[in-house]
Structure 1
Amino acid sequence: MTSPDELETAAPLRMGRPLDTGYLIDEVVGEGSAGRVWRGRRAADGVVVAIKVLHPQYSADEEILSRFVREHATLKLLSHPHLVRVLDLVSTGDTRAIVMEMVDGQNLRQAAQTGAISREWAAAVLSQVADALAHIHTAGIVHRDVKPENMLITWRGGQPWAQLTDFGIAHITGGHTLTRVGEIVGTPSYIAPEIALDRPSGPPADVYALGITAYELLAGHRPFSADHPLAMLRQHVEAQPVRPAAISDAAWETISGCLAKDPSVRPTAAQLAGRFALLTGSVGALPLSAPPPLPAMPAVIPEFVVLDTAPALTKPGPTNLAPTNPAATNPGPTNPAATNPAAAEPAIDLPTIGASRPAPLAPPPPPKRRKRWIWWVAAGIAVVIAGWGAGLWAGRSGPPVTTPTPTPTTAVKGQLWFLPVSATSPALGTVRLDFADATKLPGFESYVIYLDSGLYAQVQPGQAPPYFVSGRHPETKNCYQVAALVITDQPKPPDGPAVCLAADGKGKGSP
């Protein structure tokens, strides 16, 4: 077995070096604070993957090993059109590695610097990233390093398609650094005030970082600047952002809400996804054009630092940051470490992975994610849901029961109940789907969104209705259906019809 030390020091690395029994290491494509990223292949079928091998100090830590194993299932089951998917986590011998899908494209900073992200598409990209954050927050994961470098942009039908990467990695490696009291690890320009103050943090910290990114994308610069990391942290705690002249009232209301010093008053990521979707094409007071390019990183201060918080920061001047408690700072479920008083888990500064296999409008299948389904599995009940060629599966991995049953019984099963849905296009490139709240249906589990006969997303309660689909071509007519995934033996009602429209910013859908 190849150890992390051998992987880190081998130069040049020969093609086909094995990692575990399932993957072959090919070449280095990037390096970050937590480890080195390799292009690799899955041995079984040759599929190209990205493999992040954690540095030896993480691989040797017992606490990190324990957390790595606990997070394995959650990270693998995260599945969303705007997430770079984690395919596997390797933990064998002294090697800890994270296997991800490859994405060919630029990160958001690079795309913005080339002028590729116009004002017309800026809010659409932000909506996509916010939707991805909402998904991982629901799964109990906090990203902790939201910034343009971790948003990868590819193009589908001439439109930007954003995918958030590096989610969950910071949480896995977090315990190693957080045992050292009084230190903050991360990217200073995007650190939320509660993290700077060493207070409990959770999903609102990701919303704050996305607000910084939104400000930067639309204004061409960050809201705060300083010549030292500690000075930057004080800016986050005490300074108020100045509104850029070219941002509309509605856009500024959304961005300034993200940048609130008090995490309890910031919008959730799910709310933010809808607000940015509504702002698509109308974020500026000026005519639509490419916004100023983002400044290159690093800007003034180092991009990634480990800081002693220092007495000056731990005793700040007046601020409107209210006393924090876990309930106030965590609108959704989080991992236990997300509410740890140490708060500031290390950000992982991973360079953009530079290989790809984007699938046009074919997101991965939704996850087998519900812990409350475990008792169904234990009882040996398999649930199969198929819809227009796309399906969801939840069931046990053991062998089928072969003992004949003397009397047939009616098994409780999973069903897709297609709901009546209406669709409008409130902004260019965006479709809004409205449907009834189905959470009171018997055995309700989640909503399932279909786009043109294919599975688009699985949406958790609280994220819909309504549901916003962003990044659609304004001249292409697409058809949508919304189903409620229910576990019940009740008869299925008649299906609601699909509704079709183009995301032209003015149309209303029709069956």
Structure 2
Amino acid sequence: MTVAIKHVPSVKIYCKHVNGISVEVAIMLKLAAKSDRTSAPIYLLDWYNLDQELILVLERPIPAKDLRGHIKTNGGPLDEEEAKVILKQLIDAAIDLENKHIFHRDIKVQNILIETSSNRPRVRLIDFGLSCFVKKRSSYREFFECEDRGVYRPGPTTVFQIGMVLFDMLHRSEFAKDSFFANKQRISYKLSKNCKDLLRTTLNREPKKRPTLKQLRSHPWL
């Protein structure tokens, strides 16, 4: 079996879980325990907590490359139909994490593997280093990160990150938040009406105006 080895310096492990293990390990163990082997997250096969670093032994799908590389291999933006196949799986993966009270926090093209062992690309999520367990605090899905490091709203944040991924799949330039909000970067006029609508709603500046993940999954474009 081909594996990937991830080295995490101890000084970069900011959050610890029960029994002193890192939150990244705790999350991946929880995901592996509830996995049916068709889920999106990469599997944690083993781990070693050493004095100076944490070593993770991870599943390494072959053939596969990250979504950024997949786009480059394509020679430019993906067509809407291929982007749609990928986005549906990504949204389903995000909903599954939300149901397990896990917030990935770093969904982007570099952290999405596209497994190409079959005719239909399979989405795999990697790098749970910034992830955290979440606890519901209000009707607006407000959650606290580990300890007292900050307050996050996982739903709206995840929806925005999914919008960024879709933008990157369909444009030659990667999404830049400041330029987009300053109207210096625009959604391509070549895209279908429903696709443009999905991008506008997910990338709305106001978190409360973004759809929920389940609403997003029912969007007309999908």
Both structures adopt the same fold (TM-score exceeding 0.5):
yes
Letter paired with 2:56: I
Q: Is 1:170 matched up with 2:130?
A: yes
SS at match of 2:122: strand
Find the aligned partners of 1:256 and 1:99 in 2 and give their Cα distance: 39
Q: Percent identity?
A: 22
The offset of 1:263, in angstroms, is 1.3
* Greater strand content: 1
Give the corresponding residue for 1:202: 154
SS at match of 1:82: coil
Find the aligned partners of 1:88 and 1:132 in 2 and give their Cα distance: 22
Query: Is this contact kept in 2: 1:154–1:162, CA < 8 A?
Result: yes
Letter paired with 2:9: H
Indicate how the Cα distance of structure 1 residues 235 and 162 shifts in structure 2: closer, same or farther if over 3 A, else same. Answer: same
Give the corresponding residue for 1:52: 6
Q: Is 1:143 matched up with 2:104?
A: yes
SS at match of 1:251: helix
1:320-359 superposed matches below 5 A = none
The offset of 1:210, in angstroms, is 1.4
The offset of 1:239, in angstroms, is 2.9
Could you state the TM-score of these two structures normalised by the residue count of structure 1? 0.35
Find the aligned partners of 1:163 and 1:170 in 2 and give their Cα distance: 17
Q: Is 1:161 matched up with 2:122?
A: yes
Letter paired with 1:170: L
Find the aligned partners of 2:171 and 2:51 in 1 and give their Cα distance: 48
**1:77 paired residue among 30, 37, 53:** 30
Indicate how the Cα distance of structure 1 residues 70 and 55 shifts in structure 2: closer, same or farther if over 3 A, else same. Answer: closer
Indicate how the Cα distance of structure 1 residues 222 and 58 shifts in structure 2: closer, same or farther if over 3 A, else same. Answer: closer
Give the corresponding residue for 1:279: 221
Give the corresponding residue for 1:446: none
Letter paired with 2:69: Q
Query: Is this contact kept in 2: 1:219–1:246, CA < 8 A?
Result: no
Q: Is 1:64 matched up with 2:25?
A: no
Find the aligned partners of 1:48 and 1:111 in 2 and give their Cα distance: 20
Measured on the aligned residues, the alpha-carbon RMSD in Å equals: 3.1
Aligned length: 199
Letter paired with 1:279: W
Find the aligned partners of 2:2 and 2:187 in 1 and give their Cα distance: 44
Letter paired with 1:113: K
Find the aligned partners of 2:163 and 2:86 in 1 and give their Cα distance: 13
| Highest RCO, 1 vs 2 (Cα 8 Å, sep ≥ 6) | 2
Indicate how the Cα distance of structure 1 residues 73 and 175 shifts in structure 2: closer, same or farther if over 3 A, else same. Answer: closer
Letter paired with 1:100: L
Find the aligned partners of 1:252 and 1:204 in 2 and give their Cα distance: 18
Give the corresponding residue for 2:209: 265
Could you state the TM-score of these two structures normalised by the residue count of structure 2? 0.73
Query: Is this contact kept in 2: 1:126–1:273, CA < 8 A?
Result: no
The offset of 1:151, in angstroms, is 1.1
1:399-414 superposed matches below 5 A = none
1:221-300 superposed matches below 5 A = 221-224=173-176, 234-235=178-179, 238-240=181-183, 242-275=186-219, 279=221
* Greater helix content: 2
SS at match of 1:279: coil
Give 1 or 2 for the bigger CA radius of gyration.
1
- Structure 1 segments, 4+ long, off by >4 Å, are none
Unaligned runs of 5+ in 1: 1-46, 180-197, 225-231, 281-511
Q: Which whole-Å deviations, capped at 9, do the CAs of 1:34-81 have from their partners, x for residues lacking one?
A: xxxxxxxxxxxxx4432322113135xxx6344762734442232352
